[in-house]
Structure 1
Amino acid sequence: MNQVNLPLAALVAAALIPSAAHAETDAQLDITPYADIRYRLELVDQDGLPEDATASTLRLKAGVKFGEWNGFSALVEGEAIARLGPEDYNDTTNGRTQFPVVADPSDALLNQAYLRWQPASAIQATVGRQAVNLDNQRWIGSVGWRQNDQTLDAARLSLKAAKGLTADYFYAWRVNRIFGPDSTQGIWRDNDIHGLRVGYDIANFGTLSAYGYWLDIPSAPAASSKTFGVRLAGAQSVGEGGKLLYTAEYARQSNHAVNPAEFGLDYLLIEPGFNASGFTVKAGFGRLEGNGTTALQTPLATLHAFHGWADKFLSTPANGLRDLYADAAYKFGEGSALNGLTLRIAYHNFDSTRGELSYGNEWDALIAYPLTKQVKLLAKFASYDADDFATNTRKFWFQVEAKF
């Protein structure tokens, strides 16, 4: 079980003391408890392993938000993950390597604990353990799909410099990864991680953002890098109720700090799409360059959201990755007996960027339905067919989540 370290304990105390003082003088103190309960059944059939995985897990996330007092506010959140039923899966810490990996080890830990100061509407500073999600989480994300979040022990400053112009800087010294503290790679300590993002909302066009990420991670030298990029995401109205969607992004990554390799590698994303009457259709081309020895990596990303739900490309192969994909979804709207039901299907074709290797292809499908405003059901499927990379893998998920 993870232990709360002293700096975070002091932070929580600092958050509670002014709140308690305020409670004595103001009966309207805003203290908001909340809970998120999620049950998941995950089944994995992976060629090359003698056993199939069956993981039945329950995640309880609960916390308290403390409302503003003299510009200060705070949040404290705990998380507990429990296995229900047999341990027929490799959770990355239990040594059951005859089973496929389902990276949801049982644990109880402090998930978030931070103090926030907002002296003016355009300035916000946050220090402590926190979830950080930037843009589409391609580079920095909290991995919300897994039962355990990825959080950062960090200081963050967010500014609204002018109308439509924002700036976000963070410094992180510790990464609390999804594998939990019992894993040798569950916590990255003593890091020197800096991130800077500047965004500008262009009226009737989209959001243009530029970013730089400097990762010095002694626990994982190969993950250390510096990345500079630019991203455009927007939409244009077309006809009656239709929208043309577009996303384009380019980044350049090179070695940094403790990384022993020397490289300069490109990232490219082009994703046009269309939305009308509940339908959303997208096509995409994603390219993460590799030179045969080293490839562009995104170790702090929400990786499950990219390159197929079978998670075969959580690390980019040394020969790089080219992902050509199509994604279609339909959401039933108001007036329908199935209001809120979402259907989605996607196809990926994976190749290398070097050596003309055909890695394989993947089909993904999803059904999601809100039973109520608080309770949602989800069923999800992924099937990866291997050619020159990894092995055939099929995954199925059933999930129930309740938020209060």
Structure 2
Amino acid sequence: MKKNTLHLLVAAVSSLVCSVPNVSAKTFTESMQQGSVVKINFRTRFEDVTEDVLGSDSDREANAWTTRSRISYQSGVWNGFGFSAEMDNVSEMTNDHDYRTSAANVDPLWADRNTVAVIADPTGTEVNQAFVSYTTFNNQVKYGRQRLLLDNSRFIGNVGWRQNEQTYDGISWTNKSIRYTNFTYAYIKNVNRVFGEDNPVLGDLHMDSHVLNASYTGFDAGKLIGYAYLLDVNDPVSQLGLTGDTFGVRWQGTVGESFLYNLEYAKQQDAGAAQQYDADYGLAEVVYNINRYSFTLGYEELGSDDGAYGFATPLATLHAFQGWADKFLATPAAGLQDIYFNLGVTIGGAQALLSYHKFDSSEGSIDFGDEIDFSLSKKIGAVVLTGKLAQYSMGDSNANYSDTTKYWLMADWNF
């Protein structure tokens, strides 16, 4: 199925390119210079983590003061072709690396893992994006290293909260030829993960994966989305639980101007011979906006296959879901149910958000604990100032999730 999909894409893109008229109003050099844009961004952040160590009176602690410097270039257009590039550098401002950047045993502070917490912001310089694009009225093709965000990034995202962003090596195609319809296809050869190129275990995720997403906005009552994410991981070390096919449907509904609701269901099954599993995903969420207030009540479930496997979303922007303490970056084998409530308010140009999560297992009756999150952000000129706090409290002791407190202070400015 995956090979046939790729062949159909190649044929369609070839037909598209051949049918475009040859328009050459400018030379290539003129086109690349005129309309080109250069942007510079700096993001400085202090993060502090304190975790209880189960069975011990000591805590696992870490803090990091990092700055991400980013320069982005987007060329002008020549006969529909363009080029984009982006470079990132992440530096530790105190030159005092007292935090682990991953849970892999290649980390320099792995021996201190019982006392040093993980803050997944490795230092270094990387090419974040570099791709050639071809654009017509209803189509855009990108080839190279690029950012991918689909829907709410629950399945395919860029993990934009971390200093080293997650990007993808491959080809993507977006088509809007059919009225009200947006179709996206991407072939992913490699995932450049947030742990950085210097991490030989977690830095890259090599794969031959196909991503398909189609949305229709012709309904007065909302937007209908269907998707198929066919992940085929080549790395044997990381393959367990990551290779699989996910098929789903999402409805984003509206009732008047103030009431929104989201319904989603997905089915996930193993695509390889090494492991057999089957799990479901479900979401029901309502949002009510009135004046400067926003209220959200939701239920999300990442199901389990009889307690042996939990529904996985390895390419998601996970920090945006199930609490900012990031306790559930990998779904427990027993699955996870998350009942949550958000209260947002805008006061004097500042945005405040208070969130509460209650976590339980899908299989059995495991209490995974609860979490309270709070954030406050305000834009002053070109700078966005943000403060965040996450407080996770453990449930059943046999669940192996300990009390955790995290807070962040961040300044993000653009030129």
TM-score (norm 1): 0.89
Could you list the per-position Cα deviations for residues 257-314 of structure 1 after superposition, in whole angstroms to 9, with x for gaps in the alignment?
36x2211110000001101112110100000111322111000000000000000000
Matching residue of 1:38: 43
Matching residue of 1:47: 52
Q: Give the whole-Å Cα distance in 2 for the aligned partners of 1:308 and 1:57.
A: 22
Q: Give the whole-Å Cα distance in 1 for the aligned partners of 2:176 and 2:258.
A: 28
Matching residue of 2:14: none
- Is 1:22–1:29's contact at 8 Å kept on the other side of the alignment? no
Letter in 2 for 1:366: S
- Is 1:132–1:140's contact at 8 Å kept on the other side of the alignment? yes
Structure 1 counterpart SS, 2:195: coil
Matching residue of 1:274: 288
Given the alignment of the two structures, is residue 243 of structure 1 paired with residue 262 of structure 2, yes or no?
no
Letter in 2 for 1:387: G
Q: Give the whole-Å Cα distance in 1 for the aligned partners of 2:70 and 2:117.
A: 26
Matching residue of 1:399: 410
Given the alignment of the two structures, is residue 369 of structure 1 paired with residue 386 of structure 2, yes or no?
no
- Is 2:33–2:75's contact at 8 Å kept on the other side of the alignment? no
Structure 1 counterpart SS, 2:288: strand
Could you list the per-position Cα deviations for residues 132-175 of structure 1 after superposition, in whole angstroms to 9, with x for gaps in the alignment?
00000000000000001100001001000322111100001011
Report deviation, 1:236. Answer: 2.3
Q: Give the whole-Å Cα distance in 1 for the aligned partners of 2:129 and 2:37.
A: 15
Q: Give the whole-Å Cα distance in 1 for the aligned partners of 2:338 and 2:51.
A: 21
Matching residue of 1:284: 298
Cα gap change, 1:283/1:26 in structure 2, threshold over 3 Å: closer, same or farther?
A: closer
User: Which of 232, 235, 253 is equivalent to 1:216?
Assistant: 232
Q: Give the whole-Å Cα distance in 2 for the aligned partners of 1:39 and 1:94.
A: 23
Report deviation, 1:400. Answer: 0.2
* Correspondence list, 1:73-92, <5 A: 73-85=82-94, 86-92=96-102
Q: Give the whole-Å Cα distance in 2 for the aligned partners of 1:103 and 1:209.
A: 32
Could you list the per-position Cα deviations for residues 189-210 of structure 1 after superposition, in whole angstroms to 9, with x for gaps in the alignment?
2x11100011001343221100
Structure 2: 5+ residue stretches without partners: 1-23
User: Which of 148, 167, 172 is equivalent to 1:151?
Assistant: 167
Report deviation, 1:44. Answer: 0.6
CA root-mean-square deviation: 1.6
Cα gap change, 1:354/1:26 in structure 2, threshold over 3 Å: closer, same or farther?
A: closer
Report deviation, 1:27. Answer: 9.5
Report deviation, 1:188. Answer: 1.4
Q: Give the whole-Å Cα distance in 2 for the aligned partners of 1:326 and 1:229.
A: 24
Structure 2 counterpart SS, 1:304: helix
Structure 2 counterpart SS, 1:285: strand
Letter in 2 for 1:84: M
Matching residue of 1:335: none
Q: Give the whole-Å Cα distance in 1 for the aligned partners of 2:73 and 2:31.
A: 18
Could you list the per-position Cα deviations for residues 60-107 of structure 1 after superposition, in whole angstroms to 9, with x for gaps in the alignment?
111211021110111010000001122221112332523111000101
Cα gap change, 1:36/1:26 in structure 2, threshold over 3 Å: closer, same or farther?
A: closer
Q: Give the whole-Å Cα distance in 1 for the aligned partners of 2:33 and 2:120.
A: 42
Report deviation, 1:221. Answer: 1.2
- Is 2:49–2:407's contact at 8 Å kept on the other side of the alignment? yes
TM-score (norm 2): 0.87
Letter in 1 for 2:71: A
Name the % identity: 34
Letter in 1 for 2:390: A
Report deviation, 1:26. Answer: 6.0
Letter in 1 for 2:410: Q
